Amino acid sequence: MNTPLAGVLARYIRANGPLSVSEYMHLCLLHPRYGYYGRATPVLGRQGDFVTAPEMTQAFGELLGIWLYVQWRDRLGAPSRVRLMELGPGRGTMMRQMLRAANKFPEFYRALEVRLIEVSRTLRTQQQAALEQPVREGRVRWLDSWDTEWLDQSAPVMLVAHEFLDALPVRHFVRQTPTRWLERLVDLDPQAPADQPRFRFVASRAPTPAAAMLPVSGIVDERDLPHLPDAIEVPVGAATCVQRIAQWLQASGGVALLVDYAKRAQPPLACTLRAVRQHRFEHVLHAPGEADLTADVDFALLERCVRAAVPDTPLHSMPQGEFLQRMGLAERMRVLAAANPQQTAALQAAYARLVSPTAMGSVYRVAALSSPAKGAAGKRLPLLPFEPPAEPPAEPPAARST
């Protein structure tokens, strides 16, 4: 499909050679003029290309807001300042829901300094409309990146991200010999007319620097390489992101909650990159800049990456359905249905879709990280609901009568 971005990519490839899958993915999503997230037409919701959990019910973001309040109160010690940061906030729907819940706890709400990491000016405009009251209060700031916040350790951070990791760039590699890998690249199809470029996947002629470094990347265990499929997907963007989050939490104190499309049972590092347009899958190379590109998130791999980088800040995860049920989604839906009886059927359908193991309940996972925290007795506080609650102190033995 001859999209505006296709012409830009074609000119680049003619001048510089093929793109890595990582570069192609980044440009398709974030090109400043023709990238997917800069489009004026909706990308989220029923009129867009996909529907996210916060768009289905307000209860989703409200429960995340309750989780954040509990962490602020119990793990962080109720500080007077805390930065609430969202990576890739979409239309601002989830942040609006979280702040609605936070507003039920005045001290918590007053402590919040909201930071939205968003490069799309189109989405920033939508977020500003969704968060009109907090913006008017001077509570919200927009940033192109979190680099400046990373340097500021004056207040703890509470970081959230929903369907963010799956949009971070991945690299693809193909096996040449049992121990030698080439990188999969995006090149021009030589049979296509110059004014109607088409793209194809090719293998690099020799190992690229990324392919040569694969055994020592820290993302892939060198011992596993001989047993992997002949084509693999390495989540370089997601791995780097969660390691950086863990390092930040260790330095500044805080918690992070990440919700994303999880890699299901399949060979390790199997290729999952796909394109979605108008609620349908299509070829990744078909319409650059016009389709959303995502790759499943391998949470087990990310747990290993975090453990290797910051052992004191482990990453825990569970299926979305289990998390929402433990957080009281059923009760919240009953309250909403009682207040809006005409919405009962829609709420029931949303509940089933969010928690069912055959729908989003197992397809998505919720992951959390936290800086180390100790309770009054000096014991490490478990990260609820991901870890079992601490055992209550044993009762002292009763004195024997003599």
List the chain domain ranges. Answer: 35-45+57-165+237-260+300-381
Closest residue by Cα to residue 59 from 279, 320, 258 = 320
pLDDT in the model for residue 402: 40
Task: Please state, in angstroms and rounded to a whole number, the distance separating the CA atoms of residues 324 and 107.
Answer: 25
Task: Determine how β-strand 254-261 pairs with β-strand 280-282.
Answer: unpaired
Lowest-confidence pick of 56-65, 112-121, 390-399 = 390-399
CATH number of 35-45+57-165+237-260+300-381: 3.40.50.150
Residue 49: predicted pLDDT: 57
User: 401 pLDDT band (50/70/90 cuts)?
Assistant: very low
**216 DSSP 8-state letter:** G
Mean pLDDT value of segment 90-97: 96
pLDDT the model gives residue 180: 92
Among 50-59, 64-73, 387-396, where is mean pLDDT lowest? 387-396
Query: Can you list the positions of beta strands (E) in 163-278?
Result: 171-177, 180-188, 199-203, 231-234, 254-261, 274-277
Pick the closest to residue 67 from 388, 324, 372, 333 (CA basis): 324
For residue 208, which phi and psi values (nearest 5 degrees)? Answer: -75, 165
Q: What is the mean pLDDT of residues 318-339?
A: 97
User: Using one digit for the tens of pLDDT, what is the confidence trace for 157-208?
Assistant: 999 999 999 999 999 999 999 889 999 999 999 988 877 889 999 999 999 9
Q: What is the mean pLDDT of the chain?
A: 91
Does the pLDDT at position 45 exceed 60?
no
**What pTM, to 2 d.p., does this model score?**
0.91
Residue owning tokens 């505006």: 4
Give, in order, the Cα–Cα distances in Å from 77 to each of 69, 71, 139, 150, 254.
11, 8, 21, 21, 10
Residue 187's pLDDT is what? 98
**How far apart, in whole angstroms, are the C-alpha atoms of residue 390 and residue 400?**
29
